[in-house]
Amino acid sequence: MQTDDTIGARLKAIRHRRGMSQRQLARQSGVANATISLIENGKLNPTVSMLKKVLDGIPIHLSEFFSDAEEPPEKVFFKHNELTEIVEGGVSYRQVGANLSTKAIQFLKESYAPGSNTGRHEISHEGEECGIILSGRLTVTVNGETMTLIPGDAYYFRSDLPHSFSNTGTEPCELITACSPPSF
């Protein structure tokens, strides 16, 4: 579970480790310096798409940003409380495994509260992704094409195409997704 302060502190620490100023990160990410400052000071909780855009300027993937440690490569089984929480709030990503830098697949259980979405900026990253809806409704937009999916429906697309997700329904939406390589 990540609080606004934790996200901001983590972003600032990573930026400092990479020897970047806020202005440099702003230029490289296309996000205003003031916005980065607000995030780092815990005064702005970024949407998934906003945080992804900031991290692209470093560059670092969301999964790497939220990983706390590397698990041993031989780890095979994960209890529900061992899944890595990537984003907190109306949209939740629970990832199997922590640091995926040596892995070929990113596997997630995603939850979207009614009215939640990935943000006003579309997401794009290398690789391919797919998912299957378990419950609720999810509106998926990929490269300008939009469809609302219900339980049992699925999607599969090249993730370098601009895409976004939103729950326009009245109940939570849960789905299982995969991304290869882990680039989200």
Which amino acid belongs to residue 110? Answer: E
In the sheet that holds 145-149, the strands lie side by side as: 145-149, 138-142, 163-166
Q: Which part of the chain has CATH 1.10.260.40?
A: 4-60
The topology (CATH level 3) of 72-180 is: Jelly Rolls (2.60.120)
pLDDT of res. 1:
40
- Residue 171: the pLDDT is 97
Supply the pLDDT for residue 76: 84
* E strand map for the chain: 84-87, 91-95, 106-112, 128-135, 138-142, 145-149, 154-158, 163-166, 173-180
Check residues 130 and 63 and name the one with the higher pLDDT: 130
Which has the minimum average pLDDT: 18-27, 77-86, 114-123, 130-139? 77-86
Q: Is the confidence at residue 125, as pLDDT, over 70?
A: yes
How far is 59 from 56, CA to CA, in rounded Å? Answer: 4
pLDDT of residue 43: 86
Q: Which CATH number fits domain 4-60: 3.20.130.10, 1.10.260.40, 1.20.1250.20, 3.40.50.2300?
A: 1.10.260.40
Output phi, psi for 66, to 5 deg.
Answer: -95, -5
When pLDDT is cut at 50, 70 and 90, the band that residue 109 belongs to is: very high
Average pLDDT, the chain: 87
The lowest-confidence range among 44-48, 97-101, 128-132, 159-163 is: 97-101
